[in-house]
Amino acid sequence: MSETAFDPTAPLTPTGNLRRRRAFNRFAEYGATAAAVLAVAVLAIVIYTVVARGASALSLEFLFTGEPTGIGPAIVGTGLIVLVATAIAMPLGVLIALYLTEFAGGRADRPIRLMLDLMNGLPSIVIGLFVFGLLVYGKTQSAFAGSIALAIIELPLIARGSQEVLLLVPNSMREAADALGVSRWRTVLGVILPSALGGIVTATVLAVARAAGETAPLILVCSVFDSRGVSLNPFEAIPNIPVTIFTLSEEANPTGFARAWGASLVLLSFILLASLAARVLLARSRSKVAR
């Protein structure tokens, strides 16, 4: 091509390419915008469908009674399973995050980070298989087994989220505590944890939102239950919302579908509200810690 020989004295003349380049640029910009619109539209359609179809099923009776009219026991059951899971995962996750940010030297740091990443990437059905083999095989299904499975799902989320905020705590605070002669554990418990608390709560709420909708492990370890009444015994299988939706969706039964939409609405509004709340909390605690 003649263009390769660069002549600095040549007058700057338009090649006529600019129009084509501009047009392609415009096209690419529209494409990117359209992709974003598409994603938001899918979200809107899913939420709209769930709300529109679920709202008609929703009533006080639906929320507070058992089968066949409502899903009350399932709501209580999901609450219990997730509560126990969080009670297990939150302390462990925070401790692992503390270990990573405050104690681990260079050598221990990487394998543990890798462990969290791998655990986060585990398919939830595999976690279900694991818990089935560990706690259910040869015994009976139980809510406790479900909690363990959900705890394994929550753990990396809480640990990574907490670690991020702990890293945001300014080093000057640690140094100030050191300068005052405060021992490490008092610094951690009295200075670092309180200032990172907002972020830790955020990470936990996000993990709860994720765990509440997790279905695959529960199908294996907590799915054969009596959904007529409320059960709080963690050592038997108790009704829960995700499995209820799944079972109803597999039966070709219109009234069952209506109940499944209602249950979906309950679950989805909880999850979306929780992640919204977490987002607000995060923004607030970020600005607080960084100050």
- Kindly identify the residues of this chain, within the stretch 21-40, that bind other proteins according to CB under 8 A: 21-22, 24-25, 28-29, 31-36, 38-40
Which 3 state secondary structure label does DSSP give 193?
helix
- Asked if 96 touches other proteins (CB under 8 A), the answer is yes
- Gap between the Cα atoms of 239 and 263, Å rounded: 12
Using CB under 8 A as the binding rule, the residues of this chain from 261 to 290 that contact other proteins are 261, 264, 267-268, 271-272, 275, 279
Cα separation, 30 vs 200, whole angstroms: 39
- Could you tell me the smallest distance in angstroms from the CB atom of residue 24 to other proteins? 6
Q: Which is nearer to other proteins, 185 or 290 (CB)?
A: 185
**Helix intervals (H) in the chain:** 17-55, 60-64, 72-98, 106-121, 124-131, 143-168, 171-179, 184-187, 193-212, 216-221, 241-250, 254-290
Q: Confirm or reject binding of residue 197 to other proteins (CB under 8 A).
A: no
The smaller minimum CB distance to other proteins, of residues 24 and 235, is found at 24
Distance CA 145, CA 220 (A): 10
Contact mark string toward other proteins, 50..69, x via CB under 8 A: x-------------------
Stretch that binds other proteins, among 61-69, 70-78, 107-115, 225-233 (CB under 8 A): 107-115
For the four alpha carbons of 98, 99, 105 and 109, in that order, the dihedral sign comes to: negative
Residue that has been written with the tokens 């297990």 in this structure? 88
Residue that has been written with the tokens 């059960």 in this structure: 231
Among 68, 111, 190, 229, binds other proteins (CB under 8 A): 111
CB 120 within 8 A of CB 156: yes
Among the listed residues 9, 171, 172, 183, the single contact to other proteins using CB under 8 A: 183
Site membership for other proteins, residue 19 (CB under 8 A) = no
Interface with other proteins, residue 100, by CB under 8 A: yes
Q: Which of 71, 80, 82, 155 binds other proteins (CB under 8 A)?
A: 155
Pick the stretch among 77-85, 98-106, 169-177, 227-235 that binds other proteins (CB under 8 A).
Answer: 98-106
Q: How far is the CB of 275 from other proteins (least distance, A)?
A: 5
The CA-atom distances, in angstroms, between 125 and each of 11, 208, 216 are 67, 18, 5
- Using omega within 30 degrees of 0 as the cis cutoff, is the peptide bond preceding 68 cis? yes
Q: Which residues contact 45 (CB under 8 A, 6 or more apart)?
A: none
By C-beta, is 50 or 80 nearer to other proteins?
50
Q: Return the number of the residue (173 or 193) whose C-beta is nearest other proteins.
A: 193
Task: Report, in Å, the least distance between residue 200 CB and other proteins.
Answer: 14
Comparison of 84 and 152: residue with beta carbon closer to other proteins: 152
Q: Using N-to-C axis directions, what is the helix angle for 241-250 and 254-290, rounded to 10°? A: 140
